[in-house]
């Protein structure tokens, strides 16, 4: 099982002031990877020197929304192969904050459509002794199939009508 960090072969690109790398953390389900996911990760990567990504566990996703189509291990492999990602790992099944103690991110990014309140998240991080800045990535890809739900609807419609509306 791949529960440890997976390192992208591209590695770290540069150092910042005081020889400290700025570590950015992005999180998400990343089910049926699409251009919107890629934009979120690329924009997150621009904020620092290393991009860590936590891929949500199947069990945790199923509590909040529909069960992922792609199993967690496959989603992890796909995300870890992206050029902009330095490290990827599966999240904790019990406490979403658990991996942060090991990663120690300087910045945590959340996507434009992720259901987190930045202030509440920062307060919880401080309460747990994690001094990360939370930044919402508001930039989004505008395309018909840039949301997982749109992709699923499109596939179902194509299967139902074979591309021909009745």
pLDDT tens string 112-145: 888 888 899 999 999 999 999 999 999 888 888 7
Q: What's the CATH number where 78 sits?
A: 3.40.50.620
Count of all residues that appear for the chain in the document: 166
Mean pLDDT of the chain: 84
Domain containing 101: what range?
19-139
What is the pTM for the complete model shown?
0.81
Q: Per the domain annotation, does 149 fall within a domain?
A: no
Q: What distance in Å separates the CA atoms of residue 84 and residue 153, rounded to the nearest whole number?
A: 29
- 3 — phi, psi (to 5°)? -90, -10
Q: What distance in Å separates the CA atoms of residue 13 and residue 23, rounded to the nearest whole number?
A: 12
- 36 — phi, psi (to 5°)? -65, -40
Domain count, the chain: 1
Q: What distance in Å separates the CA atoms of residue 112 and residue 37, rounded to the nearest whole number?
A: 11
Q: Per the domain annotation, does 26 fall within a domain?
A: yes
Q: Per the domain annotation, does 56 fall within a domain?
A: yes
Q: Per the domain annotation, does 122 fall within a domain?
A: yes
Q: Per the domain annotation, does 95 fall within a domain?
A: yes
Six token digits for residue 102? 């090991």
């Amino acid at each position: 099982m791949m529960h440890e960090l997976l390192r992208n072969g591209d590695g770290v690109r540069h150092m910042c002031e005081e020889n400290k790398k700025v570590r950015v953390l992005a999180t998400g389900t990343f089910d049926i990877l699409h251009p919107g996911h890629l934009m979120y990760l690329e924009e997150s990567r621009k904020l620092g020197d290393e991009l860590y990504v936590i891929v949500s566990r199947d069990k945790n996703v199923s509590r909040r929304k529909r069960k992922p189509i792609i199993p967690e291990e496959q989603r992890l492999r796909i995300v870890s192969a992206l050029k902009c990602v330095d490290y990827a790992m599966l999240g904790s099944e019990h406490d979403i904050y658990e991996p942060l103690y090991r990663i120690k991110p300087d910045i945590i990014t959340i996507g434009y459509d992720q259901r987190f309140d930045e202030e509440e998240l920062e307060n919880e991080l401080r309460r747990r002794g994690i001094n990360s800045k939370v930044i919402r990535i508001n930039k989004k890809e505008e395309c018909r199939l840039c949301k997982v739900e749109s992709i699923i609807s499109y596939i179902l419609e194509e299967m139902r009508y074979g591309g021909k509306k009745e």
